[in-house]
Chain A
Amino acid sequence: MGTSPEPMAAVSSSMEVLPRPRRTMPLSGRLATGVLAIVVLVAVFVPLAPLPSPRTVDTARSLEPPLQGRLLEELPELMPREGEASDAWIERGFGDLGLVSRLMVQGRVALFGRWAFSGVLGRDELGRDLCARICWGARVSLAVALVAAVVTLLVGVPWGAVAGWAGGRVDDAMMRAVDVLNSIPLVFLVVFLVTVLGEDSIRLALDRLGIGRLAIFFLVVAAVSWLSMARIVRGRLLELRDATYVEAARASGASPARILLRHVVPNLAGTVVVTLSLTVPRVMLFESFLSFLGLGVQPPDVSWGLLANAGLKALIPIDPAWWLFVFPSAALAVTLLALGFLGDALETLLDPRRHR
């Protein structure tokens, strides 16, 4: 992931008398928000949906193309076996779920019993339903992005803000740290973190703290994603510090807190939101890149990157199982597109100097 330094803006003094920036989001932005809302809803409510389990293996139905067989049927895996504890059954079919998800799964059993839409998007080589895997994979992919966004906000913004506001030596030192971190090729860092944190002893220790393998992966990705936010925030803060209205406020005797709240934060917020909307797609692409290298999310957990890569391997010249590649990639692409359009729209709204 590289950095994208700010473009050099040719600021015209007459900008300030240009017409007001838009106050409503353009159509593309609204559509994008709609799409993203759907994705998030799917990710959140999939335990409630009448879909097969994403983990149950059924080798007899290996590589079933989409829309084959009965599309609505009863599947034995969707209820516990004789004498099987509910918790054990949930873990077998869906993995380690939180309380709310568990309740939703049990709710689904109450509502739909064993009925589910099966094989709508086809099945993979182990007979697992692709639609279910994509929906459950959304959780992981979005979670990765969310964790990265949160870390970026909590670490990158303060880091850049402090550096920019303080200036001088402090700024130099903090930015050099960012530079050095940027220079260490990501790959080594990731390999190191993934293997060391995957080591048995450390893994057990983290497990006790409640940090599972997936969480470790999230942290790894987040650890490398805050750097460009720090740099952008710092740049913006430097500009703001010297902006005329801030000087005016200072000259008229306003306290630093007031300056911060009234002038700096609103202007900064715009940049932060826009940069965040750029960071999230980058992180999701990075996750799929890691999967390509074999260092990404590990089975039985499933993510879009993992599915897209597995699908890529299915694109052999004879009889390709195209659905395994097309649908996960489409999910990824559509989400990223939506994020991109949303970012554009937000920029139009919140960053009036950066007309797009």
Chain B
Amino acid sequence: MIAFLVRRVTWLVATLLVVYTVTFFLMRAVPGGPFSSERQPPPEIREAIARRYKLDLPLSQQYVTELTRLLRGDLGMSFRLADYSVGEVIAEGWQASASLGTVAMVLAILVGGAAGVVSAARPGGLIDGAVRTFTMVGISLPSFALAGVAVLLVVYEWRLLPAAGWGTLPQLILPAGCLGAVYAAEIARLVRSGVVEAMQSDWVRTARAKGASHRRIVLHHAVRGAVGPVVSFLGPAIAGILTGSVVVEKVFAIPGIGYHFIEAATTRDYTLAMGLVLLYTLLLGVAGILVDLVQAALDPRINLEK
């Protein structure tokens, strides 16, 4: 296992370096910069700005300077959010995104898992058909459509929940629901297929032959089979949900980092964009490693060293 960890961590570091390089040149190559503005200051001021933020140095020099700074753990100051360092921006946004993401994911697992199990218990039955249709619809709708309809109904028509914002429990429900809905649908499908497959495996047939009740079989044996695919789906999904719930954050004005992602790219906030890209890559990598570890823990047949 140590060898496995060492190998994966090395690859992660190498990936981070490549991602840094590609993102660096990608951003610099795009026209416009962090100080593009509709009101152009006189050229002398623009020069002063370039000098102050070291934007007038040759690209290769900027590349090296930034890299050394990053290796020291200093992500720099944000250009667009001038009062904050990139670390502060991420720290502040992380709380909201993590909260939202966690609740959404938990809801998704609970609702989706339950739906999947129930529908797989009697494949082809009425409940199964209903669940399958709902999940299909769930993954066929763009998330902004779902959010838009949700706001129209829940906020305007029924006045049940607040429209947007962050800080109280009612403000958490609708965004978490919208975010989790799509994942719930996917999880339901995965769980269902995993359980159905497990139900056809040898040991389930043995258990049935031994006279175990249907419910016991489903809950004890089949669910085990479902956990695997869900876990491997969860890994990248978690990273995605934590950083990328852009639509929900924008519609419901949640101060998370998903929105920062888009803003940083479109406003050419070099430092913040770089910080977020590296964060995302790191999260993906770590999530991948953790998922592999958990899968190995749950399934003794998996050999990590291969």
Interface residues of A (CB under 8 A from B): 2-10, 12-15, 18, 176, 179-180, 182-185, 187-189, 191-192, 195-196, 199, 281, 285, 288-289, 292-293, 305, 308-309, 312, 315, 317, 320, 325, 329, 332-333, 336-337, 340-341, 354-356
A309 pairs with B190, CB closer than 8 A: no
A7 pairs with B229, CB closer than 8 A: yes
A288 to B247, CA, bound (A): 11
A5 pairs with B232, CB closer than 8 A: yes
A320 contact set on B, CB distance < 8 A = 152
Q: Is the interface of B mostly helix, strand, loop or mixed?
A: helix
A187 pairs with B148, CB closer than 8 A: no
A7-B190, A8-B295 given; A185·B145 CB < 8 A: no
List residues 15-64 of chain B with CB under 8 A from any CB of chain A. Answer: 15, 18-19, 22-23, 26-27, 29-32
**Partner among A12, A288, A354 whose Cβ is within 8 Å of the Cβ of B201:** A12
A182 contact set on B, CB distance < 8 A = 284
B19 pairs with A317, CB closer than 8 A: no
A315 pairs with B148, CB closer than 8 A: yes
A199 pairs with B265, CB closer than 8 A: no
Q: Chain A nearest CB: distance from B272 CB in Å? A: 12
Q: Could you say which of A2, A8, A281, A356 has the most chain B C-beta atoms within 10 Å of its C-beta?
A: A8
A185-B280, A191-B266 given; A337·B140 CB < 8 A: yes
**Partner among B19, B201, B246 whose Cβ is within 8 Å of the Cβ of A10:** B201
A7 pairs with B148, CB closer than 8 A: no
A337 to B185, CA, bound (A): 13
- 25 examples of A-B residue contacts, CB within 8 angstroms: A4-B233, A6-B229, A8-B229, A8-B232, A10-B225, A18-B200, A180-B19, A183-B280, A183-B285, A184-B22, A184-B277, A188-B26, A188-B273, A293-B246, A293-B262, A305-B142, A308-B144, A312-B145, A315-B151, A325-B145, A329-B141, A332-B140, A337-B137, A355-B197, A356-B196
**Partner among A8, A195, A309 whose Cβ is within 8 Å of the Cβ of B228:** A8
A4 to B243, CA, bound (A): 18
B200 pairs with A12, CB closer than 8 A: yes
Q: What mask results when residues 91 to 104 of chain B are scored 1 for a CB within 8 Å of chain A, else 0? A: 00000000000000
A329 pairs with B145, CB closer than 8 A: yes
**Partner among B31, B142, B149 whose Cβ is within 8 Å of the Cβ of A288:** B142
Q: Chain A nearest CB: distance from B191 CB in Å? A: 10
**Partner among A7, A281, A288, A354 whose Cβ is within 8 Å of the Cβ of B144:** A288
Does B139 count as interface, using CB distance less than 8 angstroms? Answer: yes
Q: Chain B nearest CB: distance from A147 CB in Å? A: 19
Q: Could you say which of A180, A185, A289 has the most chain B C-beta atoms within 10 Å of its C-beta?
A: A185
A8 contact set on B, CB distance < 8 A = 228-229, 232, 295, 299
The number of chain B residues touching the other chain, given as a range, is 35 or more
A10 contact set on B, CB distance < 8 A = 197-198, 201, 225
B30 pairs with A191, CB closer than 8 A: yes
B15 contact set on A, CB distance < 8 A = 176, 179-180, 183
A309 to B142, CA, bound (A): 10
A7-B232, A180-B18, A192-B30 given; A292·B142 CB < 8 A: yes
A144 to B32, CA, bound (A): 28
A6 to B31, CA, bound (A): 40
A189 to B142, CA, bound (A): 21
**Besides A188-B265, A195-B30, 12 new A-B residue pairs in contact (Cβ under 8 A), listed by A number:** A15-B200, A183-B281, A185-B280, A192-B26, A195-B31, A199-B31, A289-B247, A308-B145, A333-B140, A340-B136, A355-B193, A356-B196
Does B202 count as interface, using CB distance less than 8 angstroms? Answer: yes
Q: Chain A nearest CB: distance from B222 CB in Å? A: 10
Does B11 count as interface, using CB distance less than 8 angstroms? Answer: yes
A311 to B222, CA, bound (A): 44
Does B84 count as interface, using CB distance less than 8 angstroms? Answer: no
A7 pairs with B228, CB closer than 8 A: yes
A6 contact set on B, CB distance < 8 A = 229
A317 contact set on B, CB distance < 8 A = 152, 156
A188 pairs with B277, CB closer than 8 A: yes
B190 contact set on A, CB distance < 8 A = 7
B136 pairs with A325, CB closer than 8 A: no
Which chain A residue shows the least CB distance to B152? A315
Does B276 count as interface, using CB distance less than 8 angstroms? Answer: yes
A340 pairs with B233, CB closer than 8 A: no
A14 to B284, CA, bound (A): 38
